[in-house]
Structures are given as C-alpha cells and as structure tokens.
C-alpha cells in the first residue's frame, strides 16, 4: 500500500459533505462515504486532525441576515452544529475500527473533550483521529479560519480543504462552465485575484506558518489519498 508523504494532516470538511448536494442535516449514506474516505486516509499512515463545518444545518452570517437573531448568537448556533457533525463522524469512524476523539472549543462535557492543544497532540500521536469542533470558540470567525488556526497550532504539514468542486477556479464553475481550474497558486494570488475559496485571515495564517493548502473535490473517490501520496489533485496553494 502507498504511504502518505505527510506526517500530520489537517482535513477541513464542509458541512455540505454530510448530506447530498442541496440537502439538509446528516444523511446516512453521505456520512458513511466521508467516514470511509477518512478511514482510507488513515491507512496511509499520517496523523489526522479534522475540522468540520456546519453548512448542512446553519450558516451564521446568512441566518442572522434572514432573521432577528444577531450575528454573534447565530455564529454560536453554527458552532454547536459542528459538534453534531463531529459526533456523528466520530461514531461512524469508530464503527469502522478507527479510534477517534472529538475536541471542542465550546465545552459540551456530555459529548466531547475541550480543545487543549497538548491533548489533541497526544491523541494524534497515539493513532487517534482528532475531530476539532466548535470552530475557534468565537463568533465572526469562519471554520476555514479555524482550520488554518488548528493546522498552525498542531504544526500540520498540509491543510486539505475538501469541497464539492475540483479545486480553485477563476470563477464559480457552477455558474460559469468555462471558468479556469488552477493547478497551483501562491497565497497572494487568492487575495490579488479575489478568489473566494478561503477567507483572507485563513490564507494569512497558512502563509505565515508555511502550511500548504490543497483544495479538492471530496466527492471524487480516491482524491484525498491521491493528494496525500503526492499525485496532482485539485489546486495546491503554497
């Protein structure tokens, strides 16, 4: 079996990957599919940390704009939703035989451990997947920023942003079929070209800590394992 070229990986999963495109909540088949991909990733040998989003339940910014709920409360609701996704993924991974722990920036003692950097590292070094939930624990920060922050804290060798598209495009490929797919970009390119694949604070964190980012389509079988083995998949940002 091939081996990962990276020792420690942080995988950013969007909440949308927990259901079919356009769906809501957690769908069993989508959850099983994600867990299987993570399980195969772990078999390549790297230490694996995961940051989960919650777009399958709620997006704080959008929800606050369409309701009377203020942004900070809506963002906390989104952080709680990431814990739901994280616990579902943990249980499914452990049914596959992969030891897993959920660590959250928001304390929910009945379900998960609080995020403590040394505790997360201890889990990783002992062969467990560490699912990092609750975002940063603060409103007004995206889960992309959380992923970049946790990748920096845990000294990850690479951040993989798993999306529903094949990488970073010059424009929205769903609206513009002729949009160009980039094979490789510099961190500055995302800012200069106004490519909205990650927010600027996340890009800056990765640049400052020399963490390469691979943006790929999680729904294509083999993409994540191919990327970890050094094959050209998606878009590399470095």
> pLDDT of 140-186, one tens digit each?
999 999 999 999 999 999 999 998 889 999 888 888 888 899 999 99
Which whole number is the average pLDDT over 197-203? 90
Which whole number is the average pLDDT over 57-80? 93
**Residues 104-122: b if buried by 16+ CB within 10 A, e if exposed:** bbbebeeebbebeeeebbe
Break the chain into its structural domains and give their ranges: 8-237
Q: What is the mean pLDDT of the chain?
A: 94
pLDDT of residue 18: 95
pLDDT above 80 for 213: yes
Q: Domain 8-237: which CATH class? A: alpha beta
Which whole number is the average pLDDT over 3-22? 92
Which whole number is the average pLDDT over 23-37? 95
pLDDT of residue 87: 98
User: Is the model more confident about 163 or about 85?
Assistant: 85
Quote the percentage of the chain above a pLDDT of 70.
100
Q: Please, which pLDDT band fits residue 195 given cuts at 50, 70 and 90?
A: confident
Which whole number is the average pLDDT over 207-223? 93
Q: Please, which pLDDT band fits residue 1 given cuts at 50, 70 and 90?
A: low
User: Is the model more confident about 20 or about 102?
Assistant: 102
The model's pTM:
0.95
Which whole number is the average pLDDT over 23-41? 94
Quote the percentage of the chain above a pLDDT of 90.
80
């Amino acid at each position: 079996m091939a081996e990962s070229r990276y020792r420690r990986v942080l995988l950013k999963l969007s909440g949308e990957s927990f259901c079919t495109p356009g769906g809501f909540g957690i769908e069993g088949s989508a959850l099983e599919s994600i867990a299987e991909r993570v399980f195969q990733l772990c078999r390549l040998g790297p230490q694996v940390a995961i940051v989960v989003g919650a777009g399958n339940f709620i997006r704080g910014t959008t929800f606050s704009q369409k309701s009377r709920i203020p942004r900070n409360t809506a963002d906390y609701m989104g952080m709680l939703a990431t814990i739901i996704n994280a616990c579902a993924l943990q249980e499914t991974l452990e049914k596959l035989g992969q030891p897993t722990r959920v660590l959250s920036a928001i304390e929910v003692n009945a379900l998960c451990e609080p995020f403590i950097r040394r505790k997360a590292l201890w889990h990783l070094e002992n062969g467990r997947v560490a699912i990092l939930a609750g975002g940063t624990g603060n409103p007004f920060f995206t889960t992309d920023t959380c992923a970049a922050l946790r990748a920096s804290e845990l000294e990850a060798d690479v951040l993989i942003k798993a999306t529903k598209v094949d990488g970073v495009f010059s424009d929205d490929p769903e609206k513009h079929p002729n949009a160009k797919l980039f094979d490789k970009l510099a961190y500055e390119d995302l800012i200069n070209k106004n490519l909205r694949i990650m927010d600027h604070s996340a890009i800056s964190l990765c640049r400052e800590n020399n963490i390469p980012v691979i943006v790929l389509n999680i729904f294509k079988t083999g993409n994540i394992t191919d990327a970890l083995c050094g094959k050209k998949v998606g878009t590399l940002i470095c």
